[in-house]
Amino acid sequence: MRLPGLYNGPMQDLIRKLLSGLGEDPDREGLLNTPKRVEKALAFLTSGYHADVDQVLNGALFTVDYSEMVIVKDIDFYSLCEHHLLPFFGKCHIAYIPSDRVIGLSKIPRLVDVFSRRLQVQERLTQQIADTIGEKISPLGVAVVIEATHLCMSMRGVEKQNSRAVTSAMIGAFRDTARTRMEFLELLKLGSRGGSASPGMSATHECIAEE
């Protein structure tokens, strides 16, 4: 993928200024190529802004006679919190009930990348993934659950170091039918991997944008 803005001078100048502002000497040997590397890394980590959902899903929407729940669990994702520009990362779980179309399974993690490789807040990331699946295949319902660790909290020692934020977006049958929602959550068995997450935990544990 071409990454727009890559290697342009202005961003590298800004990163040099940032290093100076932090009390560093941008001209010392170890930092000489850092502006170029940081720019490249940031361009990749925000490449979702330039991704086209239709292109990602191109050729991977199929008409089927299937109306049972489709679940893709444990999709790894990495994103940047827009409040601190620090990573938050974890697992994304997606379910939907098709009406007449499905998305090729391999495309679902790519869809997560499109929205996670941006500056985000966890709630919006969760909602955007759900809304996009809703728009593209008009299923009977969509559910997205994200469990994430926010480095802006754990590295700075805010609240519990090992807490994870859990957010969910439920559309259609998952919102309207408790049994469907419970079936999905039961299949996820959140927290069964020894973590501290539970479906009752709210986004209040998430990165808090203080002044």
State yes or no: is 207 an active-site residue.
Answer: no
State yes or no: is 205 an active-site residue.
Answer: no
How many residues line the site for Zn ion (CB under 5 A)? 5
Task: Kindly state whether residue 124 participates in binding Zn ion, applying the rule CB under 5 A.
Answer: no
Q: Tokens in use for 144?
A: 């997205």
Q: Tokens in use for 200?
A: 């009752």
**CA dist., res. 7 & res. 27, Å (int):** 18
Least CB distance to Zn ion at residue 122 (A): 10
User: Residues 36, 40, 84, 101: which binds Zn ion (CB under 5 A)?
Assistant: 84
State yes or no: is 12 an active-site residue.
Answer: no
Instruction: Evaluate whether 203 touches 167 at the Cβ level (below 8 Å).
Output: yes
Pick the stretch among 29-37, 48-56, 100-108, 147-155 that binds Zn ion (CB under 5 A). Answer: 147-155
The set of residues, in sequence order, having a beta carbon less than 8 Å from that of 123 and lying 6+ positions away, is 167, 203, 206
Q: Which residues pair with 79 in a beta bridge?
A: 88
Task: Kindly state whether residue 81 participates in binding Zn ion, applying the rule CB under 5 A.
Answer: yes
Pick the stretch among 37-45, 69-77, 160-168, 203-211 that binds Zn ion (CB under 5 A). Answer: 203-211
State yes or no: is 92 an active-site residue.
Answer: no
